[in-house]
Amino acid sequence: MRIVYFDVDSLRPDHLGCYGYVRKLSPSIDAVAARGLRFERCYASDAPCLPSRAALFTGQFGIRNGVTSHWGAAADLRPGSNAERPFLMLVLQRAGWRTACFSGFAQRHRAWWFSAGFTDFFGNKLPGGPESAEEVNALVLPWLREHGASDDWFLHVNYWDVHNPYEAPAEFVRRAADAPIGAHRPRGGAARPPDPSSEPGRRGHLRASVVVPPDRGAHRWHGVSGVPSAQVGSASRADPTRTARRRAGRSREPVTTRWPR
């Protein structure tokens, strides 16, 4: 099995076409959702970025693993044995998987535990934010050309571009300008994308970890030679406008996945 997990900072579901956004700004993500599964009720257990990834990688709430904030003692992972504090990547690595990470997150947050369990860790070759998708892909694509034909690997690719300071290239600003401002959410009788989970043969057949790419990074993957089909998916961390939802005890995240045919 091959899994590609795209981890996109601050990407909101209501700004993706597959979740009803009217501007055509996410064609690659929308294409993955159209051919696979789109999750309507996926919520982050912890926020913002550091507590969220700590929960994801350890499988524990922040009140258990100790990371509940970006700063001070509340940003430190509690010590513990592998049984007390399991890491997803360590579990995969010990099962014989090759795990690779392309994220400057550990440097950005001084979270050195983040590298645990990665066979190949490229985070120290990135500036730690705000690196562009082009900088990330410059490391990812050579790795894929070398190792993509092998089996049993997990690839974690972290894109930062959607996060503030929102320095989008001019071509993406022009794309957004094609739709009138304010026409950003489906209203009234506006059509919603079909729910892939309702398609025959889809319900209850997700067989792999959920892992969708921001289009600025993902479009450069098309045509990479020597890389067989892989499970592709996405998730987002740290929606910057989630304060009200966090008070309500939940934060909705966009998650899509596609299983290779």
Q: What is the mean pLDDT of each run of 10 residues along the chain (261 residues)?
A: 91 89 87 90 87 91 92 89 83 94 91 92 86 92 94 93 80 74 46 39 32 36 41 50 43 78 64
CATH number for the domain spanning 235: value is 3.40.720.10
Residue 76 maps to a domain:
no
Residue 233 maps to a domain:
yes
Contact 95, 149 (CB under 8 A): no
Is the whole-model pTM more than 0.85? no
**CA 33 to each of CA 11, 42, 121, 137, 157: distance values in angstroms, whole numbers, following the listed order:** 15, 15, 28, 22, 18
Contact 18, 30 (CB under 8 A): yes
Residue 49 maps to a domain:
yes
Residue 79 maps to a domain:
no
Q: Would you state the pLDDT for residue 167?
A: 75
Q: Output helix, strand, coil percentages for the chain, rounded to the nearest 5.
A: 35, 15, 50
149 DSSP assignment: T
Residue 129 maps to a domain:
yes
Q: Would you state the pLDDT for residue 213?
A: 33
Domain that holds residue 209: 2-70+84-258
Residue 75 maps to a domain:
no
Q: Would you state the pLDDT for residue 226?
A: 40
| DSSP strand pairing (37-39 vs 255-258) | antiparallel
Could you give the number of structural domains in the chain? Answer: 1
Residue 174 maps to a domain:
yes
Contact 186, 13 (CB under 8 A): no
Residue 59 maps to a domain:
yes
For residues 195 and 36, give the distance between their C-alpha atoms in angstroms, rounded to a whole number. Answer: 10
